[in-house]
Structure formats: C-alpha cells, structure tokens
Amino acid sequence: MSKKSRSKLWFLVHSWLALPIWFFVLIVCVTGTLAVVSQEIVWLANPQMRASAPSDDAPLLSYDQVLAAIKKAEPQTVVQSISRPDESHFALDVEVSYPDGRSLTVYVNPYTGVIQGPAPTFNFKAFTRALHGWWLVPFTNGFSWGWYLVSFLGLPMLASLVTGLVVYKRFWKGFFRPTLRIRHGARIFWGDFHRLSGIWSIWFIAVISITGVWFLIRALLFDFQISISSEPIIPAMSRESVPISADGTPPPRISLDSAIEIAQQKIPGLEASFVSLPGNAYSHMSVGGRGWYPLMFQTATLNPYNGDIAASRLLSDRSALEFVTESMRPLHTGDFGGIWIKLIWFFFGLLLSMMVLSGLLIWTKRTALATLNALKREDKRNRKVAPRSTDRHEPSEVRP
Amino acid sequence: MSHIGITPPSRLNRFWHKWRFHLNVLLLLIPLGFMPKYFADASLFRGDSGLGEREIGEIQVGPWSLRLAELRNQAPILTGPAGYMKDFSAALCDACVDHVKATYLRIGKPRSLRAAGVIFFGTPYRMGTQLPVPEKTAADAELWITMEGWDGSMHQASIPLRQASPATLAWLNKQGAKP
C-alpha cells in the first residue's frame, strides 16, 4: 500500500469513528461539560446554596455546632450526614430525614448553622450526571445498558485521537505555527479549528477517553462479579458492643468532633470534609476527607458508642492498581482541586463538543463539494467519452 | 456500460444518503422515554410520593407499630449472586421512635433474635431494607417483623406474604408453574 493510500485509509477511519453517531457523541460531550460545573450552576441559581459569612472574620462552626444548630431550629429533624464541599463559597450539604418521611439535602450556613433551604426538587446536578453517565436508562440488575452505551464511546474517542494525529502530518508544528484562517470560507475555518483545538486537547481527549474506557471496564467487572478491591468488608457491630439502656432510650453516642479527633489520630493531617451518622443501632459512623493526594478520600469507620475504630482506609492501604483505578473518576469529572480545575475541564469540554460539530461540518461541506465536483466531471465525460464512476471524495484533510 | 451518474436513484436511496448520518438523532428518544421514570424514581427516593409505591398499612408489633410499604409494586429483582431481592420501607410510630433499637424482616418465623432476618437502615421516619426472596418460597409464607427495644425487649408480628406483596406472590406462582 502506498503512503498516500494509507493515509487516505486512516482518514476514512477517522471520519467514520464519529460520523454515524455524531449527535449522540455531541450530546454526551455537552452534558458532560455541563455536569462538570453543575454544582456551580445550581449555586448561581439558588442563593440558599451560598455560604455567606456574617463578618469577614467569622469562624467556621464545628460539626457538633452545626448539628446543635439544626437540632435547635428543627428538633424533629434527623441528620444523616454533613458534608463540606471543597469550595468555601458553598454551604454545607446536610442529608436530613423529616417526620413526614421525606429525606433530602438541605443547605446549612457553615458560619451560622442556619438551615438556608432545601435543595431544589429538580436536582440539576444529578440529572445532568444521569443523562451524561447512563442516558437515563435505569439500573435494575447490575449496570444499566445506558451506562454501557455511553462508556463504550471511550473507545472510538481514543481511536479518533490516534487516527487524528496519524492523519494530521507533523501535527506538532501546529503548536508553533497556529493556523486559524477566518476569511477563507467556512470549510477552511472549521478545518483549521478542528486541527488547532485537536492538538491543544490531546491531553484532555486522552484523559476523557481513557477514563471513559475505565467506566466500561468497571461495569464489566461488576457485572461479571470480579472484584479488584483490597478493601475489607466491615461486619456490622456485634450485639455485645451495642449497649442496652435500662430506661429504654438510646444510649449516648460520641460527639462528631471527638469522632473526628479519634480519626485524626489514626489518619494524621486528616481534614474531615464529611461525617456520616450510623444507619441503624448496629452500624458505624464514618469520617473522611481528602489526603495529600487530592484524587482520593481517606476514611475512618468508628463505633459510635465508644469511639473504637472499626476500620480505616488510608492512601497507603490502596494497592498500586487501586491508585490508578480510584483516580479515574475524579480525572474524568475534574472534581479534585476546586473551581479552577473545574473551569479548565469545562473549557476543554466545550472545545471537545465543538470538535464533534466541526468534524461534522467539515465532512458535510467536503462531501457536498466532492459530490458536486464528481457530478461535474461525470457530466463532462458523458459528453466526451464513456463515463467512469467517480464515487470517491478527496481527503483534503491530508495536508503536507 | 452502466451510466451510474445518470440513472436517478430511488427516493428511498436518496433519503438514506441524505439522512443516514443524522439517524442517530433518534438515540435521543431513549433518555426522553426514560425521563418520566427518572423523575418518578427521584420523587420516590426523596419520599415525596410516600414510603413506597404501595403502602401495606400500619402493623401492630407488641406495644409498638410501624407503617410498612413496598418500595416498588413489583416482583423481587435479581441482584447479582445474592439472588432475588425485594425492597421494603417502613416508618416507626411516633411514640416508639426513641424506644426501638432495630427492626428486622424475614420470611418465616425467626427462631431467635439472632436470626431475625434483614435489618432496616435509615431513620425512624423512613427506613428501608432488601429482603431476600428464595424462588422456592411457599405461596402461603408469612412475613415476620421483629422489633428490638433499647431495653432488650423483643416483639414480633407477622402478615401473610400475599398481603405484604401481591406482586411477589404472583411472581412466586409463575415460578411454580415452571416445569
């Protein structure tokens, strides 16, 4: 095979990877891009989600103070967990259960403990993630087939990146001589745009597609009941370790702040970003936060009556494989280093969505042009000699 | 020699060539179709539509009582190697919130508190559990509720499975019909 026809073949592969499913890929890219900043969008739309400090030097309340403030405002409300979002402009997310049987998240001011309001009924964050992650197909037995449909896209995306770089001869030159011709018609503009955003997005497309393929593998592992986890299963507390109270009321539990203190002795430097309370009389409470490696959480699981640590999960407890696999999700979502990382992910997400669109535009414009040219040639030949089929479009993408 | 460029292609062929790469827009029908279910589920899990899809009613268990519901009004579902599972939710009576330590569910009478069955998780206002339902469960089986008090006391009650979950009974009957 000649060099030229080989690059033609690569070019065809490159166009066929996304072309038949371009709209699906586009919507997955757009919803993924929105999902990255979904928390921020909800923050913009809902003032009750904001953490306004009453004064500049107002200290943050401790978890126990928050719990006490909620208890005082709504004595009947049962708190299930409190979590402190990464960015300080967000109010605390507190999962509560009400006597009428509703369980929802309420936003609590981290400085005053005021319950600022419930999370909106329409959960934009969960919705965009569900649409992006599994195309809203429900999970019944194991992973939803929508999850497979979406995560499978990681493969053509990775192949697009590789074939794109093969087709784009000496692409590294594009870094030094960026070309974006605006006044040469739409076809040229979108071609330049596709190539320029492509080379600057190499890292991002690689991250998104590799982590996307991981989501596919994860579903397969789960559905075939293969576990790679080194995390031990924590048994429920024994009957003996739960005290009986003579007066028939619940025995006292350790305070949240002392639970955090105990956890910090086990996990030096732990900054607790969440506390979850026991799910029943025989289950544990847990405390956790990010460690020096921002992509993973470290957690401690405690007996809520005497503070004994039942289990802990530190960075050092993870196997090398788990370091890789557990990093996949945060790398995909960009949720590991605050607003700036999210904004970078959002920007490149937009760029990736535009690449799907520009790819389609290039293809339709070129095909339209190629068809027109083919017809013209056909017409000429018909008038002269016997015609020949010219059902082929020129891969003008292959530039020297 | 055929004149490919001149013979007019059929209408279907023209339509296919024009729209073949846009047919994937139809994939959007999948999330659109599942959207009502998505929002119904979200409301179910938030508790906006009650304890579950089907309320079984208030059941007296010794001095206490609880409201029991089927999370979904449907047959048990297969959940991996653990077999078929059926979700129930419950809420404790107002007076017993502070006295009940744990609530359990089991098909058939438990021999002791240690074998009381699956334990409920959640808060007294809304808790849930997954009950394993063996495929060979008898149609006249009973669902036993065990409640344990903080003072060490234990109380039990039972209701027929057919009353607790008609959908499970229909499913069991269908299983039995199998050769």
pLDDT in tens, B132-147: 999 999 999 999 999 9
Regarding whether B90 and B27 lie in a shared domain, the answer is no
pLDDT, tens digit, 9 for 90 and up, residues A106-144: 999 999 999 999 999 999 999 999 999 999 999 988 899
Tell me the ipTM for this assembly.
0.88
Task: Give the one of B80, B101, B151 whose C-beta lies nearest to A225's C-beta.
Answer: B80
Regarding whether B30 and B66 lie in a shared domain, the answer is no
Structural domain contains residue B157: yes
Regarding whether B136 and B73 lie in a shared domain, the answer is yes
The dihedral of CA B60, B125, A98, A72: what is its sign?
Answer: positive
Regarding whether B60 and B45 lie in a shared domain, the answer is no
Q: Which of the four pLDDT bands, split at 50, 70 and 90, describes residue B178?
A: low
The average pLDDT across B80-92 equals: 92
Residue B48 phi/psi, 5-degree rounding, is -70, -25
The dihedral of CA A239, A244, A250, A253: what is its sign?
Answer: negative
Residue in the structure block whose two tokens are 């739960």? A242
Q: Quick one: pLDDT at residue A385? A: 55
B18 touches chain A (CB under 8 A): no
Q: Quick one: pLDDT at residue A247? A: 85
Q: Do residues A298 and A314 lie in contact, with contact meaning Cβ atoms separated by under 8 Å? A: yes
Q: Inspect the interface and report whether the beta carbons of B28 and A382 lie closer than 8 Å.
A: no
Q: What is the DSSP string of A33-98?
A: HHHHTHHHHHHHH-GGGB---SSTTPPPPPHHHHHHHHHHH-TTPEEEEEE--SSTTBPEEEEEE-
Regarding whether B30 and B71 lie in a shared domain, the answer is no
Q: What is the CATH number of the domain that holds B127?
A: 2.60.40
A21 touches chain B (CB under 8 A): yes
Portion 103-132 of B in contact with A at CB < 8 A: 114, 119-127
Q: Which of the four pLDDT bands, split at 50, 70 and 90, describes residue A389?
A: very low
Calculate the average pLDDT of chain A.
Answer: 90
Regarding whether B105 and B30 lie in a shared domain, the answer is no
Regarding whether B137 and B86 lie in a shared domain, the answer is yes
Structural domain contains residue B139: yes
Q: In Å, what is the CA distance from A115 to each residue of A51, A93, A364, B82?
A: 11, 10, 54, 40
Regarding whether B114 and B166 lie in a shared domain, the answer is yes
Structural domain contains residue B1: no
What is the pTM for the complete model shown?
Answer: 0.89
CA A30 to chain centre: 13
Regarding whether B93 and B17 lie in a shared domain, the answer is no
Structural domain contains residue B79: yes
The average pLDDT across B163-175 equals: 93
The dihedral of CA A310, A313, A317, A319: what is its sign?
Answer: positive
Helical ranges in chain A per DSSP H: 3-18, 22-36, 38-45, 63-73, 124-134, 145-151, 154-167, 173-176, 186-200, 202-223, 256-266, 320-333, 339-384
Return the residue in A27, A95, A97 with the most chain B beta carbons within 10 A, the one to mutate for interface testing: A97
Give the minimum alpha-carbon distance from B174 to chain A in angstroms, rounded to a whole number. 20
**What is the number of CB-based contacts under 8 A between chain A and chain B?**
142
Rounded (5°) CA angle A27-A29-A34:
95
Rounded (5°) CA angle A358-A363-A366:
120
Return the residue in B125, B127, B130, B153 with the most chain A beta carbons within 10 A, the one to mutate for interface testing: B125
**Rounded to the nearest 10 degrees, how much is the dihedral formed by the CA atoms of A108, A112, A114, A117?**
-40
Structural domain contains residue B2: no
Portion 102-141 of A in contact with B at CB < 8 A: 102-104, 121, 123, 126-127, 130-131, 135-138, 140-141
Return the residue in A143, A280, A388 with the most chain B beta carbons within 10 A, the one to mutate for interface testing: A280
Contacts of B80 in chain A (CB under 8 A): 141-142, 225
Regarding whether B17 and B103 lie in a shared domain, the answer is no
Structural domain contains residue B76: yes
Q: Inspect the interface and report whether the beta carbons of A20 and B21 lie closer than 8 Å.
A: yes
Q: Do residues B38 and A34 lie in contact, with contact meaning Cβ atoms separated by under 8 Å? A: no
Contacts of B30 in chain A (CB under 8 A): 135-137, 146, 149
Regarding whether B133 and B113 lie in a shared domain, the answer is yes
> Among residues A36, A246, A65, which one has the least CA distance to residue A128?
A36
pLDDT at A248 over 90: no
Q: Quick one: pLDDT at residue A12? A: 86
Structural domain contains residue B5: no
Residue in the structure block whose two tokens are 């009613």? B57
Give the minimum alpha-carbon distance from A292 to chain B in angstroms, rounded to a whole number. 33
Domain of B148, in residue numbers: 54-177
Structural domain contains residue B135: yes
Q: Rounded to an integer, what distance in angstroms lies between the CA atom of residue A17 and that of residue A355?
A: 13
Regarding whether B83 and B45 lie in a shared domain, the answer is no
Q: Which helix or strand (DSSP H or E) is residue A227 part of?
A: none
Q: Rounded to an integer, what distance in angstroms lies between the CA atom of residue A187 and that of residue A368?
A: 11
Count up the domains in chain B and report the number: 2
Q: Quick one: pLDDT at residue A339? A: 94
The dihedral of CA A157, A163, A168, A170: what is its sign?
Answer: positive
Residue type, A222: F
Task: Give the one of A19, A101, A363 whose C-beta lies nearest to B47's C-beta.
Answer: A101
Return the residue in A28, A131, A136 with the most chain B beta carbons within 10 A, the one to mutate for interface testing: A136
Q: Inspect the interface and report whether the beta carbons of A123 and B42 lie closer than 8 Å.
A: yes
